[in-house]
Amino acid sequence: MERNASRRSFLGVTCIAIATTILGVAPGGRRVYAAALTKAQRDKLTPDDIIALMKKGNQRFRAGQESPHDYLAQQKASAKGQYPAAVILSCIDSRAPAETIMDLGIGDCFNARVAGNIVNDDILGSMEFACKLAGTKVVLVMGHTACGAIKGAIDKAQLGNLTGLLAKIRPAVEATQYPGERSAKNYAFVDAVARKNVELTTADIRRRSIVLAELEASGAVKIVGAMYNLETGILEFFG
């Protein structure tokens, strides 16, 4: 079966018009096209364009209609340079892989992962590199439902270095307005805290990073939050 390399979609959108740089002819006569996001393609996108493409990628994921990724072609096309459109901060949870659930390919985004998707100075530095030096236009903080780190913060779990990490999530627990049972057994509360944690994290990024706050104020970058629902596969963007 002929592989559909020519239909490489960038950020998931089939864009034959722009992604048609023919690199050569592979064994078997298959034409090989530039597969990874180029600088020109990325630079012409606005932050809102990129967010819209991420939403569409999640819709394809939910519909089981992911792009036919040719990872080898993407790897080869991106080896000499990368022009990612977004930097994502997400949880380490094995069920919430940001690239997969937004149908992204190699070279499309930076992704920092840490339990509970909180920021620290190193992650802020990574985001500043991504946006100021590498030209990325969207900072996405992605939380998810049924998050174990959030449950641990609610329970004030104590374990080695995890104790300090969970302490960084505690402000979200305290700040969550919730009328019912405030326990880790109540998933509605857990998810409300996870959402508040994303909100506080995006606020934290603006407050602690002058570089990113200025890029956002100039319109070059957008900082947004989202919650991924493990049950439905839906990625809901907000703020």
Least distance in Å: CB of 111 to Zn ion? 14
Asked if 193 touches Zn ion (CB under 5 A), the answer is no
Query: Given the complex with Zn ion, which of 19 and 147 has the nearer CB atom?
Result: 147
Query: Given the complex with Zn ion, which of 147 and 173 has the nearer CB atom?
Result: 147
CB 144 within 8 A of CB 230: yes
Contact set for Zn ion, span 66-95 (CB under 5 A): 91, 93
Least distance in Å: CB of 115 to Zn ion? 6
Least distance in Å: CB of 145 to Zn ion? 9
Least distance in Å: CB of 181 to Zn ion? 21
Asked if 147 touches Zn ion (CB under 5 A), the answer is yes
Query: Given the complex with Zn ion, which of 71 and 187 has the nearer CB atom?
Result: 187
Contact set for Zn ion, span 93-112 (CB under 5 A): 93
Query: Given the complex with Zn ion, which of 45 and 165 has the nearer CB atom?
Result: 165
* Residue 39: exposure state from Cβ atoms within 10 A (0-12, 13-18, ≥19): exposed
Give the count of residues interacting with Zn ion (CB under 5 A). 4
Residue numbers of the site for Zn ion (CB under 5 A)? 91, 93, 147, 149
